[in-house]
Chain A
Amino acid sequence: MDPLVVAVIVLWAIVIVLLVVVFALARQVGILFERVAPMGALMTDAGPKIGEQSPRFDLLTLDGKPLTLGLPAPKSTLVFFLSTTCPVCKKLLPVLKSLKQAEAQKLGIVIASDGDALEHAEFRRAAGLADFPYVLSRDLGMTYRINRLPFAVLLDPQGVVRGKGLVNSREQLESLLNAQDLGQATIQNWIEAEVAGRG
């Protein structure tokens, strides 16, 4: 066999393996970002505080059904604020769907936004969100001071705010639910409490 041919074959093999390594590294960096930076759903301090009773909202869903937030309810409620154009919101929709299935006993999920009802109805159909109550309310978004999306607010069965924050990934959405289980408002608070306890 011509040595040049052997060299070409060996070099191609090395190039491909190297490219696989580069891709795998990039992927792992991406996964790390999603997991740790930033840790937990990011808190914003404006609007109703953690532990406070949510103001009462009497809303109508896109289907025309009444929906009340902030009153005692049989289960916790996760209010997920999105817009039809935000790419990260779309990425989280499958997470919401699986969460709805997995936590059906304990958790109701409400999708919230504001804007043109027709546009939202079209988005809801395209995204397969027919099973979720979907409310449009400028008032709701203003009260909770939503300025970045996707944003989530967790209300316990008494209508008390148990968690809220910007959620960019599955991990952050889950951290919001875990924060309730840990008895701390946010993962950040929990870490601070842990650090203080050790110090």
Chain B
Amino acid sequence: MIALHPILVVIAAGTLVCIFARAAMHKATDLAMFVHTMGGYRLLPAALLTLAALGLLFLEVAVILGLIVPVTRPFAAAVALALLALYAAAIAINLSRGNTHIDCGCGGAGQGLSWYLVARNAVLGMLCLVAMASLLPVEMTAVAWLSAAAGILSTILLFAGIEKLIDNWSWLQASNRAFEQHNHEGHD
């Protein structure tokens, strides 16, 4: 396995912890709604939905704790990668079915499905790979920790900013469509 500088590994693991924490929080605070959202994906029989939702929540919490503890970090990152691949597959299946107007259940307010979400999971998957790497024998100085912390913060802010812009983009599309429809009907 390749060895990377600890700063990179800490940034990757820290970012994943924050992103999975948000996902787990979203599921834990409104499990009933999440179960319903999972139903929208039409991949599992209704009887299994609650069990599957609890299973995902458990795995996400395990990933968060595992990423923080140095010994379990590579395993937790591997589980995180598997979860992200699973979510991406579920989204891709529904995109290919044309079933795009369901709630993605990914934390953001009322996003539909799009290939952007699959791409996002691919990028997060790369972070998992970095978090799985073993560490170069380099001492973490104070500046290195500072860089790692600032790196985590920057990556999360970058993600939040991009997410917001994608959100705006779907707004723009929706309002364009609505305006076209409005103008069209106005001239009938």
Q: A85 touching B40 by the CB < 8 A rule? A: yes
Q: Does B62 contact A (CB under 8 A)?
A: no
Q: Does B52 contact A (CB under 8 A)?
A: no
Q: B103 touching A12 by the CB < 8 A rule? A: no
Q: Does A175 contact B (CB under 8 A)?
A: no
A window 140-199: CB within 8 A of B: 148, 166, 168
Q: B154 touching A15 by the CB < 8 A rule? A: yes
* Nearest Cβ on chain A to B40's Cβ, whole angstroms: 5
Q: A88 touching B157 by the CB < 8 A rule? A: no
Q: A91 touching B36 by the CB < 8 A rule? A: no
For A84, the chain B residues whose CB sits under 8 A away are: 36, 40
Q: A30 touching B160 by the CB < 8 A rule? A: no
Q: A15 touching B36 by the CB < 8 A rule? A: no
Q: A168 touching B154 by the CB < 8 A rule? A: no
Q: A23 touching B109 by the CB < 8 A rule? A: no
Q: Mark A1-12, 1 if CB is under 8 A from B, else 0.
A: 000010011001
CB nearest to A1 among chain B residues: B143
Alpha-carbon distance between A90 and B147 when the two chains are bound, in angstroms:
40
Alpha-carbon distance between A30 and B103 when the two chains are bound, in angstroms:
19
For B147, the chain A residues whose CB sits under 8 A away are: 8, 12
Pick from A40-48, A52-60, A67-75, A99-107 the stretch touching chain B: A40-48
Q: A26 touching B103 by the CB < 8 A rule? A: no
Q: A12 touching B35 by the CB < 8 A rule? A: no
Chain A interface size, under 10 / 10 to 19 / 20 to 34 / 35 or more:
35 or more
Alpha-carbon distance between A38 and B183 when the two chains are bound, in angstroms:
12
Chain B interface size, under 10 / 10 to 19 / 20 to 34 / 35 or more:
35 or more
Q: B101 touching A85 by the CB < 8 A rule? A: yes
Alpha-carbon distance between A82 and B112 when the two chains are bound, in angstroms:
15
For A86, the chain B residues whose CB sits under 8 A away are: 101
The binding surface of chain A is classed by DSSP as: helix
Alpha-carbon distance between A125 and B32 when the two chains are bound, in angstroms:
8
Q: B157 touching A19 by the CB < 8 A rule? A: yes
Alpha-carbon distance between A153 and B67 when the two chains are bound, in angstroms:
50
Alpha-carbon distance between A37 and B172 when the two chains are bound, in angstroms:
8
For B153, the chain A residues whose CB sits under 8 A away are: 16
Q: Does B56 contact A (CB under 8 A)?
A: no
A30's partner among B32, B35, B157, B167 (CB-CB below 8 A) is B167
Q: Does B97 contact A (CB under 8 A)?
A: no
For A5, the chain B residues whose CB sits under 8 A away are: 143
For B168, the chain A residues whose CB sits under 8 A away are: 26, 29-30, 33
B110's partner among A26, A37, A42, A88 (CB-CB below 8 A) is A88
Q: List 24 A-B contacts (CB under 8 A).
A: A8-B146, A12-B154, A15-B154, A16-B157, A19-B154, A19-B157, A22-B157, A23-B161, A23-B164, A30-B167, A33-B168, A33-B171, A33-B172, A37-B172, A43-B182, A45-B186, A46-B185, A87-B110, A87-B112, A90-B110, A91-B109, A122-B39, A168-B174, A168-B178
Which residues does A use to contact B, with CB under 8 Å? 5, 8-9, 12, 15-16, 19-20, 22-23, 26-27, 29-30, 33-34, 37-38, 42-46, 84-88, 90-91, 122-123, 125-127, 148, 166, 168
The 5 A-B residue pairs with the shortest CB-CB distance in the complex, in nearest-first order? A26-B164, A87-B110, A19-B157, A91-B110, A12-B150
- Besides the known contacts A37-B175, A86-B101, 10 further A-B residue pairs in the complex with CB atoms under 8 A apart: A8-B147, A15-B154, A26-B165, A30-B171, A42-B181, A45-B185, A85-B103, A87-B112, A88-B110, A123-B36
